[in-house]
A and B are shown apart, each in its own frame.
Chain A
């Protein structure tokens, strides 16, 4: 596997479910990111981890809970989501202080 991978690629969940999105990067990067892309909106940064520490939380509701167990893996734990949380969730990684972020293919989430 190369680059940034995300699983699952598609997810349908009810509002009472708990699920997790997984991201893995094979680029040796030290920073990882979660973005949300809703229809007709720009990509919105949700969380940033650098060297496994969260450095930014962009006012994201607590029903989204990130976890970064090591520099290669990033999770987004989801619980009691709302239908408006339906979106494409993208993971990215970059080198320290790196301007260029490399994105995974995204997880298309539908909350019913």
Chain B
């Protein structure tokens, strides 16, 4: 049973427009969420995170929104750039449980077209 779900395997967006990547989770104990970005032949790179005490965190073009009641988070990229084309992984963990176990989604392949 997948505790972190990214239901869209892929997303295609025009350069300059907004990219919205979605993630749902089922474990109500998760209280810290992260987004990682992965280029081919490289390991995942940390992008942005959010704690459950917040509902929004912004870093430049990247904003993560958290809706705890819906157990849903999203990553917004504005404006999207061709260099943003990569696989984006959502991850979550329970800071009150094991501090080491990140649970990942399957990833969403974002393609930003020039």
Contact = CB atoms under 8 A, between A and B. Distances in A.
A105 B41 contact: yes
B9 to A, nearest CB: 8
B44 A90 contact: yes
A103 B44 contact: yes
A45 B42 contact: no
Q: Could you say which of B2, B43, B44 has the most chain A C-beta atoms within 10 Å of its C-beta?
A: B43
Contacts of B4: 42
Nearest to B44: A103
B43 A31 contact: no
A42 B43 contact: no
B32 A4 contact: no
Nearest to B107: A42
A5 to B, nearest CB: 10
Given A40-B106, A41-B106, A42-B4, A103 B98 contact: no
16 contacts: A4-B43, A31-B100, A42-B4, A42-B89, A42-B103, A45-B102, A48-B101, A50-B100, A98-B99, A101-B46, A101-B102, A103-B36, A103-B44, A103-B45, A105-B42, A105-B43
Interface of B: 2, 4, 32, 34, 36, 41-46, 49, 89, 93, 95, 98-107
